[in-house]
Amino acid sequence: MTETFRILLYPLGLCAQVLFGGRVIYQWLLSESHGKSYVTKGFWQLSIVGNLLLMIHAFIQLQFHLFLSQVGGAFISWRNLNLMSEKQYSFKQTAVLLVIALTSATALYWTTSTEWFRIPSSLWHKPNQSVIWYWHLLGSIGMALFASRFWVQWLQAERSQSSVLSPLFFWLSGIGSMLTMAYFIHIQDFVNVSGPLLSLVPYARNLILLSREKGA
């Protein structure tokens, strides 16, 4: 795949981030109307579409950790929808499907590329632009925290057999968002800045609503 092609497809990731920001604002507005933190099927449906678009974006831009995290995110969004439906898979069946999804995605990536992470191709990035290693470390920590929120949410959903968003989910979301924003601003990856930026206020507001709900 040529650099010109990657540059032309760079805005694809922005579509994904708009969906991610939209789902959080949608969930926030529903929570405000219900007076408590609230999640519906629409939140997870928007999540899956956003995951798939960002997965394609990361694959094109050769960002393996971002690509694999979106595969996991799409799977967890699907599992939440499954828990909200009448016909549910067992935890063992779900775990097997997850291993198959992650293994297949990893095999697909490494058969087409040998790069772990690269600066995305866009009109404002220089060819072969590099970043000091500790910025990649900061970004990786932020993305790990950001991704872990859905793994935590998944475990909580399995325990309760229902789709729920806990305070820990929103704390991990907020801290992960701030770290990844700092990283993506530094590398001028504005596609990946937009999603966390749109979501910070809804995350904070959900924590306030959950705190009030607990107090009541």
Domain assignment of residue 94, given as a range: 3-215
pLDDT at 129: 66
pLDDT digits (tens, 9 = 90+) for 71-108: 999 999 999 999 999 888 998 999 999 999 999 999 99
Our count of domains for the chain comes to 1
pLDDT of 56 strictly over 80: yes
SS (H, E, C) the chain: CCHHHHHHHCCHHHHHHHHHHHHHHHHHHHHHHHCCCCCCHHHHHHHHHHHHHHHHHHHHCCCHHHHHHHHHHHHHHHHHHHHCCCCCCCHHHHHHHHHHHHHHHHHHHHCCCCCCCCCCCCCCCCCCCCCCHHHHHHHHHHHHHHHHHHHHHHHHHHHHCCCCCCHHHHHHHHHHHHHHHHHHHHCCCHHHHHHHHHHHHHHHHHHHHHHHHHHC
pLDDT digits (tens, 9 = 90+) for 142-198: 888 888 888 899 898 888 888 888 899 999 999 998 998 898 888 888 888 877 888
pLDDT at 161: 86
pLDDT of 117 strictly over 90: no
